[in-house]
Structure 1
């Protein structure tokens, strides 16, 4: 799911997004895995991964690196929770994730981490381990296309039920132009009560399911 550009810089092929809402966080990603954005190796990759019961992340980069990274992150946070009450906040999870990236030297990963511990928060974590919190975040080769939609459509005062449609449309818009993104979509909604993750085997099916949860016609434009 990654390659290098003409300057030898690692590039990642996918589209993932994270949005902060009034009552929680929405994370979404396409499900295409490819080699350098040219050869499709998997059409059902799950790029939205729970970290604990109220925090999850999306990844752009090597699937193998991401799976190994998530295992290490879960272990680190479990150790933290044993020594701290209450457990790790989203801010702590983002800091630990960034430290792991720097320490383990996994430069092919871009992360969007979000959760509701204690408040709805989304962090973008770059391949160098830099951390930035923002109401919207995107990663991967389709990120510019996703940002173009999110900057206009996102409203942090909307509920996660409404923002599911915004996240789905942002990923869909990216897949229309970015050849390294597509096939299906994973959407996760995180509130103080639950973390819900759904997998769809088609982009349009995901958009239809997301938009059916809201009657606000202004969400999808």
Structure 2
């Protein structure tokens, strides 16, 4: 996605998905980082960003802006864990993202999906789009590739999916976007976040399903 970028500034044309299920969340993304829309600067980027032991974020917009925001949130969540002697809730992390993005909305190109598990609410997904609003959602998509898969998500998403069904839903959504969006590509990275921790999954580019592409 390219919003108000200066010449030479790297943007995250991308596909991001996060889905809550009973017991946790699954977050997924492609791995292509582009500049200027047509130039790929990194084809194996890890866009699933750690912010706490059971909270990750997915970043769209300017790579520099979103990385800076994520680093600040990570720092404050570390302070929270020390002060409260417990892992921070997902809502706290999302609120920090929202405050930073809203207060700096005229200077940042940053869209965030914040997702994870905590003992208070279980698996939670929050969307913080550009402008700095915050929305708790059963699932969220973002990035340039998300516009290609709204129909798939609307028709295929079901409440109370199992972990395995949720993984397949996210993987298929990212694969469909990769097939249509020129700014999405590479491999697929997934993270399954539950009370037991984080499991990472990697689908290499040559194993990404070619779905619906003639």
Identify whether the pair has TM-score above 0.5, normalized to the shorter chain.
yes
In structure 2, C-alpha distance between the alignment counterparts of 1:53 and 1:12, rounded to whole Å: 24
- In structure 2, the CA distance between the partners of 1:200 and 1:63, relative to structure 1 (3 Å rule), is farther
In structure 1, C-alpha distance between the alignment counterparts of 2:135 and 2:142, rounded to whole Å: 13
The answer as to whether partners of 2:65 and 2:108 remain within 8 angstroms in 1 is: no
TM-score by length of 2: 0.86
Deviation at 1:197, TM superposition (A): 2.0
Instruction: Tell me which residue corresponds to 1:24.
Output: 24
SS at match of 2:98: helix
In structure 1, C-alpha distance between the alignment counterparts of 2:45 and 2:38, rounded to whole Å: 16
Deviation at 1:12, TM superposition (A): 5.2
Q: 2:141 aligns with which of 113, 138, 143?
A: 138
SS at match of 1:2: coil
The answer as to whether partners of 2:12 and 2:63 remain within 8 angstroms in 1 is: no
Instruction: Tell me which residue corresponds to 2:47.
Output: 47
Which stretches in structure 2 are left out of the alignment for 5+ residues?
6-10
2:185 is the alignment partner of 1:187: no
Instruction: Tell me which residue corresponds to 1:102.
Output: 102
Residue deviations 1:170-204 (CA, integer Å, cap 9, x gap): 111111111111111111111111111233331x6
The answer as to whether partners of 2:59 and 2:111 remain within 8 angstroms in 1 is: yes
The answer as to whether partners of 1:109 and 1:126 remain within 8 angstroms in 2 is: yes
User: CA RMSD for the aligned pairs?
Assistant: 2.1
In structure 1, C-alpha distance between the alignment counterparts of 2:134 and 2:36, rounded to whole Å: 25
SS at match of 1:130: coil
TM-score by length of 1: 0.83
* Residue correspondences, number: 202
